[in-house]
Amino acid sequence: MKTITAHSQHRLTSYQSKVVASTTAGFGLENMDVMFLSFALSSIIAELHLSGTQAGLIATITNIGMLLGGVFFGVLADRVGRIKTFTYTIFIFAFATAAMYFANSLTLIYLCRFLAGIGAGGEYGIGMTVLAESFPKKQLGRVSSYVGVAGQLGAIAASLLAAWVLPQYGWHALFLFGLFPVIITFFIRHHLVESRNFDTDQARPKGQIKALFKTRQLTHQTLALMVMAVVQIAGYFGLMNWLPTMMQQQLHLSVAGSSTWMLATIVGMSAGMLTFGWILDRIGPRVAFSSFLLASAAGVYVLTLPKNMTGLLIVGALVGYFSNGMFAGYGAIVSRLYPAEVRATANNVIMNVGRCVGGFSSVIIGWLLDHYSILTVMLFISTLYLISFVVMLTVQNLKAERYFNHL
């Protein structure tokens, strides 16, 4: 089998360029999907007369599908190949996304979102694994942040499409646009080959979930990273799935107005990812996570302060900067802390447990909005970030001296 090894040049090789394009397309696909649901949610609620809890379950069921798909495809990627696996799983996602056009009941929406989750479950973990095996470890934080920023193009495209499609054609038509990036992604991945890191470890047992828990220290590390991933996803999905609806319903913004607000948030996220990646590679994960987690815990409260659109745009950018600036960093540290034979498995298990459990934040936030206020929601999210900060401090391999010398 033809293989490619990692290179250390500052200039991208042809293979590295294809890997970046492939991972970017995957991230963009995920971001577009999340944003489609975010902007369609208020229309779905109105059309089907849903409670906040029922609406929150739509995102949660998607994340349950991601957990099942992520674990299965992560193990498969470590055993038979990263490229072989995630080149074709996107077609499951494509089918489920197209089916949303015909979903006219809550049961069908739940089913479509579950299947979409299975198809998209391997994207983040396998993409980060391929990225890690194609670039030097000392550049991984920055490279993952660049890819994360480029992947936000999917979210930007979704915001622009939502402002145009929803008022004109309704929420069903919006999901059809999710088919276009699938075609592009398949074309890019069809020409990729496996990295040498994958092939040179053929003799070792691969894709074993129990390997993530084989020692006491490794068990603690894996569980702690899961908790951090839970908080990251809870904050991200909580903010991205519900804030457009809150802006539309409680602050009386139109779909176009909330789309503009979300664009400002996405710009903030992109800037945050670049900053986080630089800190991660230069100073280490403890400083990077500490600064962003504490700032996120404090920053969510300012969402209740703005009284005009300009204030909302500024606040949205600030909250996005800290709350999602960390996202690509999780794949970078997991890829560095776990060996090649379980790297995709570790990435997918840790991140998709985070998605599945953290995804329940959508249900909780829906319930809180039904019974309490936006301020209560912010208190809930802020507390989660503080918990993640405390847990992060207990992971010994996240100390700079250990992290930079690991593996």
Banded model confidence at residue 7, pLDDT cuts 50, 70, 90? very low
Answer whether residue 122 shows pLDDT above 60: yes
pLDDT at 88: 85
Distance of alpha carbon 111 from alpha carbon 103, whole angstroms: 9
The helix or strand, by DSSP H or E, that contains position 394, with its residue range, turns out to be: none
* pLDDT at site 4: 46
**% the chain with pLDDT above 90:** 32
Residue 4 forms beta bridges with which residues? 195
Query: How far is the C-alpha of 123 from the C-alpha of 314, rounded, in Å?
Result: 31
pLDDT digits (tens, 9 = 90+) for 70-87: 999 999 999 888 888 888
Report CA-CA distances (Å) from 252 to 45, 67, 117, 248, 307: 16, 35, 31, 5, 11
The three-state secondary structure class of 10 is coil
Q: Residue for token digits 């997991």? A: 334
Query: Which candidate, 113, 93, 88, places its Cα nearest to that of 103?
Result: 113
CA distance 211 to 119: 25
Gap between the Cα atoms of 267 and 355, Å rounded? 23
- Region for residue 14 given its phi and psi (left: phi exceeds 0; alpha: psi -120 to 50; beta: otherwise): alpha
22-38 pLDDT, tens digit per residue, is 888 888 888 888 788 88
Give the model confidence (pLDDT) of 256-296 as tens digits.
556 677 778 888 989 999 999 999 999 999 999 999 999 99
In this predicted structure, the answer to whether residue 200 has a pLDDT above a threshold of 60 is no
Looking at residues 88-116, what average pLDDT do you find?
91
Give me the chain's average pLDDT, please.
84
**Where does the pLDDT of residue 6 fall: very low under 50, low under 70, confident under 90, or very high at 90 and above?**
very low
pLDDT at position 299 = 82
Specify the higher pLDDT residue, 196 or 266: 266
Give the DSSP letter of residue 372: S
Kindly state the average pLDDT of the residues 228-237: 88
Domains belonging to the chain, first-starting first, are 15-189+206-405 (1.20.1250.20)
Mean pLDDT across the stretch 156-161?
Answer: 84
Its pTM stands at 0.84
Q: 306: alpha, beta or left, given left = phi > 0 and alpha = psi -120 to 50?
A: beta
**pLDDT, average across residues 390-398:** 95
Two structure tokens written together for 250: 């409680």
Rounded CA separation 189/90 (Å): 11
Task: Please tell me which residue, 330 or 203, carries the higher pLDDT value.
Answer: 330
